[in-house]
């Protein structure tokens, strides 16, 4: 099994912030498409859920001590 080197905490947080910004950008695109009837609402919801799970996986993968739920 290959061991991945750990990122310093600040570098990990920077990566997560970039991922969070990308999540927000993509979520906005999905909302705009659904709002403009260019995408069915159920598809937009599924795609948004997938984006959320990708963001959560990035948080876990970066091993950041951030709350997963509020």
Mean pLDDT rounded to a whole number for the chain: 89
Q: Both tokens of residue 41?
A: 């609402």
**Rounded Cα gap, residues 58 and 23, in angstroms:** 11
Cβ-contact 58, 7 below 8 angstroms: no
For the ranges 1-10, 44-53, 57-66, the lowest mean pLDDT is seen at 1-10
Instruction: Give the pLDDT score at 68.
Output: 62
Question: Which H or E run includes 24?
Answer: helix 9-35
Average pLDDT for residues 28-57, to the nearest whole number?
Answer: 98
Q: For a pLDDT cut of 90, what percent of the chain falls above it?
A: 69
**Rounded Cα gap, residues 54 and 23, in angstroms:** 9
Cβ atoms < 10 Å from Cβ of 58: 18
């Amino acid at each position: 099994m290959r061991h991945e080197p750990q990122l310093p905490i600040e570098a990990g947080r920077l990566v997560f912030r970039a991922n969070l910004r990308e999540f927000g950008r993509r979520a906005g695109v999905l909302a705009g498409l659904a709002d403009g009837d260019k995408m069915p609402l159920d598809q937009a919801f599924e795609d948004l859920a997938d984006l959320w799970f990708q963001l959560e996986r990035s948080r876990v993968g970066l091993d950041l001590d951030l709350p997963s739920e509020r």
